[in-house]
Amino acid sequence: MRRRLYSRKLFLAGLFLLLPGVGCLGSGTTYSIKGEEDAPAPAVKPGVRSWPMFGGTVHRNLANPDETGLPDNWSIQEGKTKNIKWSAKLGDKALGGPIVAGGRVFVGTNRPHGSSEEEYKGVLICFRESDGKFLWQAVHDTLKDGTGAQNYGIVSSPCVEGERVYYVSNRWEVICADAAGDDGKAKILWKLDMIKDLHVYPGGIAGSLSICSPLIVDNLVFVVTANGAEGKGKVPAPDAPSFIALDKNTGKVVWQDHSPGKNIMDGQWANPAAAKVNGQWHVYFPGGDGWLYAFEAKTGKLVWKFDCNPKKSEFRPGGRGTRNYIVATPVIWENKLYIATGRQPDDGNGEGHLWCIDITKTPKNPDKDLSPVGDNFDPKAEINKDSGLVWHFGGPIMPRPEGAGREYVFGRSVSTVAIHDGLLYAAELAGYLNCLDARTGKKYWEFDLKANTWSSPLYADGKVYMGSDDGAMFVFAHGKELKKPTKIDMSEQLLSPPTAVNGVLYVSNGTNLYAIAAK
């Protein structure tokens, strides 16, 4: 039996990837590290490569083909450590990051570094990449929304551009801070309070956090606001923005969109992606209504939309029904977009869908709808000639063989895919890792992790790293043929994907960040 995934009140998926540790932005306490109060700020040396946002680039593909020499085996067990370059203490949960840029590593967690205080906070910690030395931290008080979701602290994976770091706090604030910090504390350059200034409802049927990993294209920073539903499923603020574009230098709203409106099913917990199509930047917003929207990045003009659910599907709260929203992050590869549907994890397993969409297709209908017609998912069907559908993978197994353990071709997912050499790796919440042909959707193999997973696969150095809910990290050989993976005990649940950069694999198990290197 697979492990039950937390209370709904503790949800924050996504994966499912920050503020001053001083008296600012709602925090009245200054945190310092014992013995370091008067120490000069440690110098940082940027690495050759970086991973400056969730997915590494605006395409959000969890693949880093430039890395070599990464380990396929290690140990964190006391007295038996192997290939551990350094480790750093986090809180008791950490889903934001790790992000590596400018010689620094950023992680979102729920307790201040160096503090014995037990009250949960929203914390972004910055460590030195070379040795894990603490550099600075940002600390937010929790938002008193009456839900246990605040226990997760900061879940937003920051986006680093130059000497600025952008993230979303546990108080629904978009933050721009100096990446170098200020004497162990955060130096805030600007902030936007989405609840106060934009009237966003901090939603989710059982509460939630705003977990978006910001995206930067040219002079704009894009954020999914997490506007959502309340306990009975009603959307209190349907006209509040679900997706915003801000001036990255000032935080001023340039354009906003509330397309999901009253059709938001629960919360909105996904990340945006971007790609240049015919010389123009487009941004992709996964809506809480189960639709994917493409906008002109500069203007916010709708380019196309795509329904990621069958037309006959129906949403019902508490894990029931067949209509899903999107928790995973869209991935762009070879002018195609890949996205999986799902629910917040405690809704459990159910029917899911994995889509491949042609982002260069121009809609020919006034609604700008590129969805397949009806529930015909054959891209070669005449009725779908104007659709953006390239292939579809998912739905229930029909007819279901007697005694079969699998009910679905592809179940609900909160995971982002990884693509390399035309192979796509996609995880299901129920704990299955699938390997497909990225161009055709043909399935090559699946592997049962024997536990649920919130995490996502990462491709690097000929390997695929996949974490599970029971604390196991699996290391697979990249390829069309399934080979027995290495299984490594990480002691705690692996709720976010690892990061590989400059020959080091960074893995957070919620309580500690490990820098793992073969040399």
Summarize pLDDT for 322-354 with one digit per residue, the tens.
999 999 999 999 999 999 999 999 899 999 999
Q: Does residue 38 fall inside a structural domain?
A: no
Task: List strands edge to edge, sheet with 104-109.
Answer: 96-101, 104-109, 121-128, 134-141
Question: Which residue has tokens 């104007």?
Answer: 386
Domain annotation covers residue 399:
yes
Q: Supply 190's token pair.
A: 């600007």
**Close Cβ partners of 109 (under 8 Å, ≥ 6 residues apart):** 90, 91, 93, 94, 96, 123, 124, 125, 153, 154
With a cut of 50, say whether residue 10 has pLDDT above it. no
Residue 37 falls within a domain, yes or no? no
Mean pLDDT of 121-126: 96
Mean pLDDT of the chain: 90
Q: What is the pLDDT of residue 398?
A: 73
Supply the pLDDT for residue 38.
46
The C-alpha atoms of residue 75 and residue 381 are separated, in whole angstroms, by 52
The model's pTM: 0.92
pLDDT at 144: 77
- Give yes or no for a contact between 281 and 274, defined as CB atoms under 8 angstroms apart: yes
> Which residue is associated with the tokens 């397993």?
349
Collapse the DSSP code of 167 into the 3-class scheme (helix H, G, I; strand E, B; otherwise coil) and give the result. strand
Is the predicted pLDDT of residue 30 greater than 50, yes or no?
no
- Domain membership flag for residue 36: no
Residue 40: predicted pLDDT: 55
Residue 54 lies in a domain: yes
Would you place residue 151 in the very low, low, confident or very high pLDDT band (cuts 50, 70, 90)? confident
d(CA 87, CA 78) in angstroms, rounded, equals 12
In-domain check, residue 129? yes
Beta bridge partners of 365: none
Confidence of residue 145 (pLDDT cuts 50, 70, 90): low
Query: Quick check: is 1 in a domain?
Result: no
List the structure tokens of 82. Answer: 């192997």
The percentage of residues in the chain with a pLDDT greater than 90, rounded to a whole number, is 80
CATH number of the domain at 421, please. Answer: 2.130.10.10
Task: Give the domain extent around 427.
Answer: 8-31+44-516
Can you list the positions of beta strands (E) in 251-317?
253-257, 273-277, 280-286, 291-296, 302-307
SS3 10: helix
Q: Is residue 3 domain-resident?
A: no
> Which helix H or strand E contains 356, and what residues bound it?
strand 353-358
Structural domain count of the chain: 1
Residue 83, amino acid: N
